[in-house]
Amino acid sequence: MLRLPHRICLLALSIAPFFLNAQTKEAGLLLPTVDTLRYTSNYCCILSPKNGFKLYDTPNGKVIGKLKMEIREDDNQSPYFIYFVTADDKKKLTTENFKLIGNEVYAIPFYEKLDGFIRVLTKMGNYWISVKELDNMSFSAKPWINFLLEENEKVLGYYAKAPGLRIRKEPNTSSDIIEAIRGDLFEIKLSNQIKGQWCKVRVTKYREHPCETDLDDKDNIERIIQGWLKIIDDEGNSNLWYYAKGC
């Protein structure tokens, strides 16, 4: 007979795939597995392994190029670019292709996970990176929901992307609407209660944004709202944003 801790572990493992499969696609960010540089001056620019990523034309297809940085000591802007290198061409990619996740820190987004590969650079076409090769370079394809939960206490707050979100009593679109929220006066804090693409949240409605007010919390907070938000859309992307550079 299994002891209680083992039963709990097995239950968690059995539930996890249900949550992951509740959305049609899985999207997120390519991030270092162990981020030892985060709180140092070296935590900057585009997060990428030194030797870059191989790009495939399809999952389990052929290698058609590489995504690689070229750091030059005589050019302090070089860490802000990555090159798409093929056998006969080299194209510079600017930070517009990446996601700002911190002060002067960008991550490479991925838009789909299929057969052990992730799809990147959708503005340019369909290119794929091997998840196994990511692991070997101490990088991981982190889904948006995991990233949002991990950053929840590190950011000032999350806000609903335009045109806004509806807080509901239960985690489904048929449930009663508590309130519609939009703009950065509705500060969202996540809980660890997750059901598929939904999260139980606590939303603080401010009169003025905390970064731009002289009011104390007692005078500035209008109300507190609690309920469920669909924080991940059907493409696997985040429905939330935050001030990556802080106040």
Residue range 5-46, pLDDT digits in tens: 443 333 343 334 334 444 458 999 999 988 776 766 666 788
Distances (CA, A) of 110 to 63, 129, 143, 229: 18, 9, 9, 23
More confident residue, 173 or 17: 173
Q: Are residues 81 and 107 in the same domain?
A: yes
Q: Tell me the pLDDT band of 95, cut-offs 50, 70 and 90.
A: confident
Indicate whether 122 pLDDT > 90: no
Cβ contact 229:222 at 8 Å = no
Q: Is residue 209 situated within a structural domain?
A: yes
Q: Is the model's pLDDT at 182 over the cut of 90?
A: yes
Q: Would you give the distance in Å from CA 96 to the centre of its chain?
A: 16
In angstroms, the CA 158 to CA 181 distance is 12
Residues 92 and 46 in one domain: yes
Q: Residue 234 is part of which domain span?
A: 159-241
**Whether residue 169 sits in one domain with residue 123:** no
Confidence band, pLDDT 50/70/90 cuts, at residue 73:
low
Residues 76 and 107 in one domain: yes
More confident residue, 104 or 159: 159
- Please report, for the chain, how many H helices and E strands are present, in that order: 4, 19
Each residue's pLDDT tens digit, 183-223: 999 999 999 999 999 999 999 999 999 999 999 988 999 99
Q: Under DSSP, is residue 19 helix (H, G, I), strand (E, B) or coil?
A: helix
- Hey, what are 164's tokens? 């806004």
* 6 in any annotated domain: no
| DSSP letter, residue 183 | S
How confident is the prediction for the chain on average, in pLDDT?
Answer: 87
Predicted pLDDT at 72: 65
Nearest Cα to 87, choosing from 65, 116, 114? 65
- Whether residue 188 is contained in a domain is answered as yes
Q: What's the number of domains the chain is made of?
A: 2
Candidates 73, 94, 71, 74; CA nearest to 84 is 94
| DSSP three-state, residue 148 | helix
- Indicate if the pLDDT at residue 50 is higher than 70: yes
Share of residues in the chain with pLDDT > 70 (%):
84
Q: Are 26 and 20 in contact (CB under 8 A)?
A: yes
